[in-house]
Chain A
Amino acid sequence: MMLRRLLHGLGLVVVLCFTLFPFYWMVSSSFKDQTDLLASPPVWLFTPTLANYADIFADEKVFGAIVNSLIIATLTTALSVLLGAPAAYALARFDFRGKSDLWFWFISNRMISPIVLALPVYLLALQMNLLDTHLVLVLIYLTFNLPIVVWICTDQFRSIPIELEQAARLDGANQFTIFRKIYIPLGLPGIAVSAIFSFIFSWNELLYALVLTRRSVQTAPVIATSFMSGYELPWGKIMATGTVIVLPVTVFALLVSKHMVRGLTMGATK
């Protein structure tokens, strides 16, 4: 019995090491100076330095990229909720022809490889002079954000008792008032979760950002990878940038950790 508990605890510690090690290695490397970083074999104990962080916050390009990421992720999230929540309400509560086809179409968008859309969108953006603008990324990110918002909100709206809606209708409220006064406030938890998901996905995206931006609208992941050229790589700076990118989304993800699986599978499991 003792042995069993010991093994269980040991197993859990192994799990913790497995999930956290690469993350730990990134964060700890961001506090190393160049000598410690290039030490062979790698050093585990070192005097931490904040120089790398001072470096990246003084670097206008890094700061600008983080601002770009923030603008794009926020706008695309707002737009997805604005467009997705009403659609979710229609899917949750109305009956109409082609409903399940429409729903499946929304869901299928999650599976499509970004490269399929990146090629034509690049050509279209080139023709319309939209390359290297916030707008093009805000719009293209809707292709994966709208499905997630629609899915999570549909699920949430279905759980709101239909009697509330019927009572409101007897009082003479129309459908838009019902949506605004009942579904938005009561469905707020689901809307918030879906917003956090679309923020995370947009913040993390690289392929579209790489292809559709040049200099002025580079996002944080693009700038982090742009350090990857030349011989002497500034590893401290790279890892500090990585940490700054990953930290906020990790906090967000921890907030929605209960819904993580449902968000990623579009509800294959409860």
Chain B
Amino acid sequence: MGQTRTKLNPGYGRWTPFWFLAPAVFALLVIGIYPTISALVTSFRRYNITRPRDGFPFVGFDNYISVLSDQTFWQSLGLTTQFFLTVLPFELLFGICIALLLHQPGQGLLRALARVSLVVPLATTYAVVGLIGRLVFNRDFGVANQFLDWVGIGGLDWLGSTTGAFIATAVMDIWQWTPFCALIFLAGLSMVPVEIEEAARLETTSKLAQLRYVQLPYLLPGLTAMLILRSADILKLFDMVFVMTRGGPGAATDLVSVYIQRVGFRIFDMGTASAQAILLLIVTIILSRLYIKLIYKEIE
């Protein structure tokens, strides 16, 4: 293997790539892989840091067994799935509508402004999105209840009720991530060759038919990317929800990252939390493999 390479004589020494890569690879090994292995080891121990006197004995798969038979863990995974299934349709629907509006010629200045404004939600600090959510959905002086009042619906105790808190966090997520979908759809729309689009416009005036038969094929790669990235991001989702509800009331918004954080850093049961984190990591690795497989087909 090495010999064929020298024969090709690429013009650089055999070790040159190594010197360029070594620092970054070394850094990621130390800060990424080493802690992961350490979490794996912890996950096989009874490890409660509030009780150091008990020591941290190895307990085999005990933590995994107790996690997998733990109702609350499954509930938080279920809730995370439910959250994903709630926000995604809205993000996709609003996203495609916004993308179509922005793709439509005309209204130069307004269109440019709207296009730029999409960046604002995406750049807003996730924790601050949570703070805004708490103010907007406040029971007494929140503007959300004022909007409801205008359309004739009475006020709700958003963050104090189970469904209310779930909807409120979902709304904030939809606000923050719809622009992401819109921008990806817009990028897809701009890939459609202009001649084809114009020909389609002569054939039919139906926007829906144009979307279905002409534009849709160009939107599909982006759609795959969104599905996978959004599911990975919702598995990661912590900042906004933690600030807005701390997972409550009860367990109404106890998404998986919020839940693991509480087990690890409120109950200080590091063994159990590590086992949960490792399970989460496995799901993430599957997702990222899928992403790489579906998205980067033509990587050389």
Contacts and interface: CB of A to CB of B under 8 A. Distances in A.
Contacts of B130: 225
Contact of B17 (A8, A15, A19, A94): A94
A115 B261 contact: yes
Interface in B133-155: 134-136, 140-143, 145-146, 149
Contact of A94 (B16, B23, B113): B16
Q: For chain A, give the interface size range.
A: 35 or more
B216 interface: no
B292 A15 contact: no
Contacts of B96: none
A231 interface: no
A72 interface: no
Nearest to A235: B135
A59 B235 CA distance: 36
Interface stretch (A45-53, A187-195, A249-257): A249-257
Interface string A226-270: 001000000100110010011001101110010011001100111
B184 A117 contact: no
Nearest to B139: A40
Contacts of A40: 140-141
B16 to A, nearest CB: 5
B194 interface: no
A157 to B, nearest CB: 11
Interface in B237-265: 238-239, 242-243, 257, 260-261, 264-265
A83 B231 CA distance: 29
A25 to B, nearest CB: 6
Given A117-B36, A139-B31, A207-B261, A16 B236 contact: no
Contacts of B281: 112-113, 116
B299 interface: yes
B129 A22 contact: yes
B285 interface: yes
Interface centre among A94, A97, A200 (most CB of B within 10 A): A94
A146 B25 CA distance: 10
A121 interface: yes
Contact of B222 (A121, A166, A239, A268): A268
A23 to B, nearest CB: 5
A250 B277 contact: no
A38 interface: yes
Given A25-B143, A179-B20, A269 B131 contact: no
B101 A22 contact: no
A107 interface: yes
Contacts, number: 312
A16 B114 contact: yes
Given A242-B128, A250-B120, A104 B27 contact: no
B24 interface: yes
A143 interface: yes
Contacts of A66: none
Given A12-B111, A26-B132, A40-B140, A102 B21 contact: yes
B160 interface: no
A246 B20 contact: no
B2 to A, nearest CB: 9
Interface string B210-243: 0000000000011011000100100110110011
A159 interface: no
A123 B127 contact: no
Given A115-B277, A169-B11, A225 B127 contact: yes
Interface stretch (B61-69, B102-110, B162-170, B195-203): B102-110
A97 B129 CA distance: 44
Contacts of A120: 35-36, 38-39, 42, 274
A203 interface: yes
A143 B143 contact: no
A260 B186 CA distance: 12
Interface string B32-58: 100110110010000001000000000
Interface string B175-191: 10011100110011001
Given A111-B291, A254-B116, 17 more contacts: A23-B121, A26-B128, A86-B19, A86-B20, A90-B21, A115-B280, A116-B284, A119-B260, A175-B20, A206-B243, A238-B135, A242-B125, A245-B125, A250-B123, A260-B183, A261-B184, A264-B180
Q: What are the 3 A-B residue pairs with the smallest beta carbon separation, nearest first?
A: A253-B123, A268-B225, A87-B24
8 contacts: A22-B124, A95-B5, A116-B278, A120-B35, A206-B238, A224-B131, A249-B123, A261-B180
